[in-house]
């Protein structure tokens, strides 16, 4: 059967499912999450004091609850920093305006978890495991010198990769192939799970760089590649080791302390495109998590290293190369029988683009509700939901989850 025939059949099935959902498919079990990005103060402002922070966060939680959200995925670590006090990372520059600056006698994370639950929402602590800075024109040494003395990257420049972006720009990230980096990330996650017991630990889609070009990790590859893997396989194995070790650490913490801290990841929406080299892939054409980010999200589900998965399906239903519906059904098949919960990530910021009608999000939510394997959705991002920057986004997000 050709890809065109398969896609056509899947689109027809999607239309039937959508009609069923409109007829009254229940959403009582639905996970209704939203990402709150702190990097660059995208969704949450810097605060001048603990009092201002409390007000800002309580107001945010209240607005989200009134919009029907029952979970917030809040970014507590964006650039080797933290929105909480601890020994593994300094306070984020996005908290109070200077890295290392907090509010004496006040613990932001403890407050956020308590306030979220008071307002009827789960709190998922969102970590970017490797990023030091997304982009800079400074040299590696010059940028690291701007960080707080306690920042892991500044203290360990030999563990930081400078990835060229072109036009005299670089991205800095911790080297996933260094065992000390894996230990640091696992220790950081374990610290939060043990001290705060959020509802979940959450990773986003940033593992190896998207283009995979110019990553200067040859020395680590030569030193640690005892199994003689190819470079791509070695990189995937590095990420797999991190995911597996986080899983084990959380299992131990939960067992010893009677906690129920879940582990979730939000990967790029396409694991792999169907081809001879990737027969398990989806009938799509686009960037591939497996091959380009070295992130084997399908394996993590099948091994049950995660409790939930939130693929970022940031395309519309009739996209010719990456149909939302085709990918939704691929992920439903992937989680089936594993016990891993499936939540779907939706892109609010894309409203207004070609083919994105104002009913697109509502239609996507109905499709998710119609699938037995799917348990809810997560919206990116908070500011687009609460303060829509355009009329198209305002119309597209109106009266959802009400």
Domains observed in the chain = 3-129+177-396 (3.20.20.80), 131-175 (no CATH)
Grouping H, G, I as helix, E, B as strand and the rest as coil, residue 283 is coil
Which helix H or strand E contains 84, and what residues bound it?
none
120-171, pLDDT tens digit by residue? 999 999 999 999 999 999 999 999 999 999 999 999 999 999 999 989 999 9
Q: Please, which residues bridge with residue 376 across strands? A: 31, 343
Strands (E) located in 11-116: 31-36, 71-77
Displacement of CA 231 from its chain's centroid (Å): 25
Taking a C-beta distance cutoff of 8 angstroms, is the pair 282, 270 a contact? yes
Opening angle at CA 387, ends 375 and 206, nearest 5: 55
pLDDT digit of tens for each residue in the chain (402 aa)?
333 333 444 444 444 333 333 333 334 469 999 999 999 999 999 999 999 999 999 999 999 999 999 999 999 999 999 999 999 999 999 999 999 999 999 999 999 999 999 999 999 999 999 999 999 999 999 999 999 999 999 999 999 999 999 899 999 999 999 999 999 999 999 999 999 999 999 999 999 998 767 899 999 999 999 999 999 999 999 999 999 999 999 999 999 988 899 999 999 999 999 999 999 999 999 999 999 999 999 999 999 999 999 999 999 999 999 999 999 999 999 999 999 999 999 999 999 898 899 999 999 999 999 999 999 999 999 999 999 999 999 999 998 876
Q: Report in angstroms the alpha-carbon separations of 353 from 43, 62, 160, 358.
A: 22, 30, 37, 10
Nearest Cα residue to 70 out of 122, 126, 124, 113: 122
Rounding to the nearest 10 degrees, give the CA dihedral for residues 291, 239, 128, 396.
Answer: 40
Strands (E) located in 58-148: 71-77, 122-127, 131-136
DSSP string, 311-352: -B--S-TT-SSS-HHHHHHHHHHHHTTT--EEEEEEEGGGTT
Mean pLDDT of the chain: 92
Which helix H or strand E contains 203, and what residues bound it?
strand 200-203
């Amino acid at each position: 059967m050709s890809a065109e025939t398969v896609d056509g059949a899947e689109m027809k099935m999607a239309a039937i499912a959508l009609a069923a959902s409109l007829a009254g498919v229940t959403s009582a079990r639905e996970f209704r999450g939203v990402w709150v990005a702190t990097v660059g103060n995208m969704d949450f402002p810097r605060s001048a004091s603990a009092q201002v922070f409390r007000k800002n966060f309580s107001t945010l939680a209240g607005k989200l609850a009134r919009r029907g959200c029952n979970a917030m995925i809040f970014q507590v670590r964006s650039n080797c920093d933290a929105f909480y006090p601890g020994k593994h990372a300094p306070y984020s520059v996005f908290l109070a305006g200077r890295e290392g600056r907090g509010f004496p006698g006040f613990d932001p994370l403890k407050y956020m978890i308590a306030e979220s639950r008071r307002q009827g929402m789960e709190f998922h602590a969102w970590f970017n495991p490797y990023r030091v800075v997304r982009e800079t024109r400074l040299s590696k040494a010059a940028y690291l010198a701007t960080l707080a003395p306690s920042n892991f990257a500044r203290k360990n420049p030999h563990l930081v990769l400078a990835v060229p972006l072109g036009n005299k720009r670089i991205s800095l990230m911790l080297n996933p192939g260094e065992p000390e980096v894996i230990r640091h990330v696992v220790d950081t996650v374990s610290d939060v799970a043990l001290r705060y017991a959020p509802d979940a630990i959450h990773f986003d889609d940033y593992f190896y760089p998207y283009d995979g070009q110019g990553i200067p990790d040859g020395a680590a590859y030569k030193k640690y590649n005892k199994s003689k893997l190819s470079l791509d396989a070695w990189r995937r194995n590095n990420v797999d080791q991190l995911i597996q070790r986080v899983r084990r650490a959380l299992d131990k913490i939960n067992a010893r302390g009677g906690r129920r801290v879940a582990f979730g990841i939000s990967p790029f929406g396409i694991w792999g495109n169907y081809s001879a080299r990737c027969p398990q892939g989806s009938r799509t054409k686009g960037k591939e998590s497996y091959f380009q980010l070295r992130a084997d999200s399908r394996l993590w589900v099948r091994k049950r290293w995660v409790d939930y998965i939130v693929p970022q399906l940031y395309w519309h239903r009739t996209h010719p190369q990456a149909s939302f519906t085709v990918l939704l059904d691929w992920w439903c098949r992937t989680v089936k029988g594993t016990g891993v919960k499936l939540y779907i990530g939706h892109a609010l910021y894309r409203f207004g683009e070609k083919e994105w009608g104002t009913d697109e999000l509502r239609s996507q939510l109905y499709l998710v509700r119609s699938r037995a394997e799917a348990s809810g959705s997560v919206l990116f991002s908070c500011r687009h939901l609460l303060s829509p920057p355009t009329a198209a986004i305002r119309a597209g997000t109106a009266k959802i989850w009400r």
